[in-house]
Amino acid sequence: MDFNALVKFIKSQGCKVIIYKNKERVNGAIGEFGEEPPRINIATKGHEKKFIISTLLHEYAHFLQWEDGFSKYIDGICWSYDIHYEWMKGIRELTDSEKRMARNCMLALEYDAELRSYDLGTELKVEGFDADFHLQEASCYMAHLKWSWAGRKDWHKRLSASFWEPAKLTHEELFAPLTDRENIYLKGVRAKKKCSKKIP
């Protein structure tokens, strides 16, 4: 199944797909899923094919979560995205337990989408789907979500996924704090990037 066939397949399942070939991001992200009506927006300009495919599969997985009620169930526990946005903007403050609850709900929803999309990529035999890269991206994404919740940092601009191993996270690894190794990497690389921007 090539990329166009994948798009057609997703549409046939009841989810609209809009491809933005001249945009690098849509609403600050490379891909997004909206519920009413169900639709996926994907920006492809300047992105590797394997990343575009992983992103499309991830957003389709969010559609499946919406369709089978999983996302509604998680949102019923905690509306983590709105809480995160308001906390990041200083609109509301959170206790440690409230942050942990919201963080874990977000991690559960996003990692479930990563696992679903991994299975879809392999089962549908999507051309250009890189299983190892997908798992690295998944771990990278989870680490950046944790980074954001730990230090009120923006998680949208992610570092290279190559730092992470191409393996599925265990339950303990998913909900554990960032490891010392991850913290050193995230802080070190980000600090270098920040410094390099100041050098003419």
Residue 37 identity? P
Residue 21 lies in a domain: no
Mapped onto helix, strand or coil, the DSSP state of residue 162 is: helix
Beta strands in 35-183 (DSSP E): 39-43
Domain with 169 in it: 49-60+67-198
Residue 23 lies in a domain: no
Residue 126 lies in a domain: yes
Q: Say if residue 88 is exposed, middle or buried (CB neighbours under 10 Å; 0-12, 13-18, 19+).
A: middle
Measured distance CA(83)–CA(92) in Å, rounded = 8
Residue 35 lies in a domain: no
Strands 31-34 and 16-20: unpaired
Measured distance CA(163)–CA(142) in Å, rounded = 13
Domain count, the chain: 1
Q: Which pLDDT tens digits describe the chain residue by residue (200 residues)? A: 999 999 999 999 999 999 999 999 999 889 999 998 999 999 999 999 999 999 999 999 999 999 999 999 999 999 999 999 999 999 999 999 999 999 999 999 999 999 999 999 999 999 999 999 999 999 999 999 999 999 898 777 778 899 999 999 999 999 999 999 999 888 876 555 543 333 33
CB distance 36 to 48 below 8 Å: no
Measured distance CA(187)–CA(28) in Å, rounded = 23
Measured distance CA(91)–CA(158) in Å, rounded = 24
Measured distance CA(55)–CA(134) in Å, rounded = 9
